[in-house]
Amino acid sequence: MLAQLLLRFDPAMPRPIKASIHTAALAHNLDVARRHAPNSKVWAVVKANAYGHGIENAYPGLRDTDGFGLLDLDEAVRLRELGWAGPILLLEGFFKPEDLAIVDKYGLTTTVHSDEQLRMLETTRLTKPLNIQLKMNSGMNRLGFAPERFRAAWERARAIPGVSQIVLMTHFSDADGERGIAHQMETFERGACDVPGERSLSNSAATLFHPTAHGAWVRPGIMLYGSSPKGLEVTAAQLDLQPTQTLEAELIGIQDVPAGGSVGYGSSFVAQTPMRVGTVACGYADGYPRVAPTGTPILVDGVRTRTVGRVSMDMLSVDLTPVPQARVGASVTLWGRGLCIDEVAASAGTLGYELMCAVARRVPIHAV
């Protein structure tokens, strides 16, 4: 009786969906970043729970980095608890004076981008030296000091007891695109020309495509996770980047749909000829994009096919024409090994970034 009850509630029998994190691929992609910027130290960016991979899952693959960059204090503390004793950079800095107690306790490096943050630093007593990255707004107009005020901000920061190393930082809006970085580099150099200190400028796209901007530190994020900052224009494979997150599910149903039969909500897909359609245990509540249209690539038993009809909350449908042997229980790859996340993203009109960050909590996720 008890055994039966235990069986019923056995958590080892979940829905057939999971995400696997590929430790060796993370390490490989970090090496690719190092190859591109051999003279720079690397802040491996692990914000947003390591781009949806889970800090704990990503850490083993990325521990050869020089430092980790992230946003949430909670994630910084988790990294310390995993045993990481090296630098951790808060990419947006602290938000409230009380955050500084945690910054101090855990020995974090912080971005300083505003007068408000300088004021908080001026009025807080720290117990250990604090390294900061002083951020200039060189044209993105999100965070940072205006170029003409940068030198004054640096002098103010330098005068704060407890502030130790000051690295000069900015962020590019178009390192992956046509406009490029020249206009921002020019602004940055103008504002920082008489300010000493190492530089921290480059996201993945600048790390890959703009060697003149590397400086002492680079800050790659997306490339570490096997997605190209240029999407399908320069593919992850062309950049020698390996997928680090495979989202897999199974077929849980198969339908023989007659010519004229429709599939899913809104009957948006109508079969032109009789066809077999598989039902996959993955929907938008798992993080698969609802906007992915009919024709989005997907693998069944390793064979490439396409989705058909609308994505539901818990299920989506696939065309089984290229995989006539597929049965209930067949493995389905939504993205990852064998199907680059950037292809699925392009079909859904978004980026690999958004898909990998959106994998839902109900999907079990493990490093392999």
Ligand X SMILES: *Cc1c(COP(=O)(O)O)cnc(C)c1O
Residues that are catalytic: 47, 265
203 binds ligand X (CB under 6 A): yes
117 binds ligand X (CB under 6 A): no
Q: x/- binding map, residues 42-61, to ligand X, per CB under 6 A?
A: ---x-x--------------
- Kindly tell me which residue out of 93, 191, 221, 264 binds ligand X, with binding defined by CB under 6 A: 221
Instruction: Decide whether 46 or 271 has the Cβ nearer to ligand X.
Output: 46
CB of 258 to ligand X, least distance (A): 46
Q: Strand runs (DSSP E) across 262-315, as ranges?
A: 262-263, 269-270, 275-280, 297-300, 303-308
Residues 6 or more apart from 241 whose CB is under 8 A from it?
A: 29, 32, 223, 226, 227, 228
**Tokens at residue 332, please?**
């389905």
Q: Where are the alpha helices (DSSP H) in 160-245?
A: 182-192, 204-209
Instruction: Decide whether 36 or 47 has the Cβ nearer to ligand X.
Output: 47
Within 140-199, which residues bind ligand X (CB under 6 A)? 171
Coil, helix or strand at residue 342: helix
138 binds ligand X (CB under 6 A): no
Is 199 marked within a binding site? no
Round to whole Å and give the CA distance between 257 and 274: 6
Q: Please, are residues 255 and 297 in contact by the beta-carbon 8 Å criterion?
A: no
Is 142 marked within a binding site? yes
67 binds ligand X (CB under 6 A): no
What is the signed CA dihedral for 361, 64, 165, 125, rounded to 10 degrees? 50
Coil, helix or strand at residue 296: coil
Within 80-109, which residues bind ligand X (CB under 6 A)? 91
Q: x/- binding map, residues 328-367, to ligand X, per CB under 6 A?
A: ----------------------------------------
Q: Please, are residues 21 and 12 in contact by the beta-carbon 8 Å criterion?
A: no
Instruction: Decide whether 214 or 219 has the Cβ nearer to ligand X.
Output: 219
Identify which range of 219-227, 246-254, 286-294, 359-367 contacts ligand X by CB under 6 A: 219-227
User: Which of 77, 80, 109 has the alpha carbon at shortest distance from 93?
Assistant: 109
Instruction: Decide whether 254 or 346 has the Cβ nearer to ligand X.
Output: 346
Binding site for ligand X (CB under 6 A): 45, 47, 91, 171, 203-204, 219-222, 229
Binding site, residues? 142, 313
